[in-house]
Amino acid sequence: MRNQTQLADPCARPVPRQRQGGSTLSSMGRWGDDEKAALVALLRTRPSGMSWPEITAEVADAGSALKVWEAHLEPSLFAEPEDALHSARTDIMAWSAQDFDFLTFYDDRYPAQLREVHQMPPVLFTRGHLVPDDKAVSVVGSRRASDEALANATAIATGLAGAGLTVLSGLAEGIDAAAHVAALGSGARTVAIIGTGIEKSYPAANRELQAEISGRGLVISQFWPDASPSKQSFPMRNATMSAYGRATIVVEASEKSGTRIQARVAVAHGRPVILLDSVARGTEWGNALIGRPGVFTAHTPDEAVEHAHRLATRLGDISHLLDAVDDL
């Protein structure tokens, strides 16, 4: 099985809900294995050097991965098209026997909020419980976090849990792990979006935490199941985390922290960003975001939770309104 990941531009413009053949991307259906196999084969072979977002957009427009496959693929020196399809079918059959779920963006169980952005992952692998309209808020920050930041992350995650919100993070060391642990300790739902395949654990120290989250919440990967972490995978993970959540809270970050990528992507996605004051005032990129639409600062964990609860509730009301308009 190929491990290749294709990097989408994490700061690309978001795309609005689209109508495809009279239906919306936020309300599709379910594909059979042949369509799924064609999508997997397209993602692996990348005809004409197409990127994953380009393949996803063309398949969505056509309403069929098989049609796109047949339109693009010709026999090559390396493998016949039928070989690639057969390999994809074999893998899908093997995945169905595992303890994780395989979803394409066309499946009705695919998280609808991910379809709202340009970088929506064409496939997902999940362990745990998918919840429609999950009211999730990202809690992110430094891997090498200070004691104060770890305490703030714990307080924020506990507050979000008390407000009935899902705590979303990336299962990294530091702030991510603290947020997940606090949510689990509060008996609340937590979702981890990881930068490896679903069969991997990174860092290895969080293997047990990952298993606990999958048993009590949800673990999501957008990479092939055996994919190792890479420099590309974490920006992709951050973009997906931004899209899945209704807001992002940045607890602590340095000038070169990968967290800044999620903050910038969230702004591009039109998702609210809440910066603790130390980030807003203590980093050039955080200071540059102050005053941007949808960017808020918080002096305390409680203030961050108040912002997140208000924004997540408001965005949920808007989402339901858009769904009602789409149904007209």
Domain boundaries, the chain: 30-128, 136-320
Q: Does the structure show a pLDDT above 60 at 88?
A: yes
Are 275 and 286 contacting, i.e. CB atoms less than 8 angstroms apart?
A: yes
pLDDT tens per residue across span 258-287 = 899 999 999 999 999 999 999 999 999 999
The predicted structure's pLDDT at residue 39: 97
The predicted structure's pLDDT at residue 29: 57
**For residue 233, which amino acid is it?**
S
* Total residues found in the chain within this entry: 328
pLDDT tens per residue across span 202-238 = 999 999 999 999 999 999 999 999 999 998 899 999 9
Q: For domain 136-320, say whether CATH 3.40.50.450 is its number.
A: yes
The predicted structure's pLDDT at residue 316: 54
Q: Residue 320 and residue 318: Cα distance in Å, rounded?
A: 5
Are 292 and 267 contacting, i.e. CB atoms less than 8 angstroms apart?
A: yes
For residues 158, 163, 168, 169, the Cα torsion angle rounded to the nearest 10 degrees is -30
Q: Tell me the chain's radius of gyration from C-alpha atoms.
A: 19
49 confidence band (pLDDT: 50, 70, 90): very high
For residues 177, 182, 184, 190, the Cα torsion angle rounded to the nearest 10 degrees is -60
The predicted structure's pLDDT at residue 257: 84
